[in-house]
Amino acid sequence: MELANTRTRYGAVAKTFHWLVALLILAAWPLGYFASDLAHQITDPDIATTQAQADRAALLFSLHKTVGVAIFFTALARIAWALGQPKPRLLNGDRPVEARAAETAHWLLYGSLVAVPLSGWVSHAASTGFAPIWWPFGQSLPFVPKEAGLAETAATLHYILQWVLVGALAAHVAGALKHHLIDRDATLRRSGRPPASPAMAGRCFSRSPSGRRRWAAARRWAGSRPNARAGPPRSTRWKANGRSRRARSPSPSPRWEAR
């Protein structure tokens, strides 16, 4: 598998970033949800809580913040890698509105992957609470003072941006499923493992007439012919060898000719 992207497929590095970020998000969201739920119970005077619940909330918040910092740096690395790589051609390029919507959701997702953890990190750095980030580089950020108002503003922004991220992810998943189940093209498949052969790659596109047209266009755009064969046709090879099928048949025996 190639490390870099091509004009028709994503490389191994881009795929690794894609699925690593997906796994980190799947880990961070439930951690933050249950930690916030416990925090509301602890701060509610009408609900009796114990020290064990407070310790559990601190543990969940520390895990959530640590995973969020990991998402932040992984997203930055992913964006830096994407900016220096060729982007595989959109298979719905013949539908400008759909292609523009996909591109908008794509960059909205990238922006949310940076803005959501960064706003949470600013809220953490501006507050003097509990639940540290588990890493050796301290808990503060440059140019971020310890100020309750700033921490509250960043926390509110973090809450709003997380729903922007959820919406971008929902659009991303819905678009991938639409390509796979309705258009039946290779948009989803080319983000997975590579096909075993060019023929298998062609089958990824050939389940519908539009898919066959896109596969042919992609092959032409990549500089190859859709129906090219390896080597000359069979008849050409026979002629090149100076033989034909008829020439291979045994000639009549002189004994039969005499009769």
First-to-last CA distance in the chain? 69
Does 206 lie in the same domain as 181?
no
Does 256 lie in the same domain as 214?
yes
Does 99 lie in the same domain as 20?
yes
Task: Please check whether residue 2 lies inside any domain of the structure.
Answer: no
The whole-model pTM stands at 0.71
Domain boundary among 174, 194, 214: 194
Q: Domain range for residue 254? A: 196-259
Does 240 lie in the same domain as 122?
no
Does 97 lie in the same domain as 204?
no
Q: Which of 121, 119, 116 is nearest to 164 (CA)?
A: 116
Q: Which of 32, 125, 126, 127 is nearest to 71 (CA)?
A: 32
| pLDDT bracket for residue 61 (50, 70, 90) | very high
Does 183 lie in the same domain as 96?
yes
Does 217 lie in the same domain as 104?
no
Question: Number of C-alpha atoms within 13 angstroms, CB side, residue 36?
Answer: 12
Does 169 lie in the same domain as 57?
yes
Domain boundary among 145, 161, 194: 194
Does 88 lie in the same domain as 106?
yes
- Statement: residue 155 has pLDDT above 80: yes
| DSSP letters for 3-65 | SS--SSS--HHHHHHHHHHHHHHHHHHHHHHHHHHHHHHHH-TTS---HHHHHHHHHHHHHHH
Does 225 lie in the same domain as 101?
no
- Statement: residue 147 has pLDDT above 90: yes
Does 181 lie in the same domain as 87?
yes
d(CA 124, CA 132): 8
141: CATH = 1.20.950
Task: Please check whether residue 3 lies inside any domain of the structure.
Answer: no
- What token pair was written down for 59? 């543990």
Does 200 lie in the same domain as 190?
no
How high is the pLDDT of residue 71? 97
d(CA 180, CA 145): 48
Task: Please check whether residue 1 lies inside any domain of the structure.
Answer: no
* Domain tally, the chain: 2
Give per-residue pLDDT as tens, 78-135. Answer: 999 999 999 887 776 677 888 888 889 889 999 999 999 999 999 999 998 779 999 9
Give per-residue pLDDT as tens, 5-27. Answer: 888 888 999 999 999 999 999 99
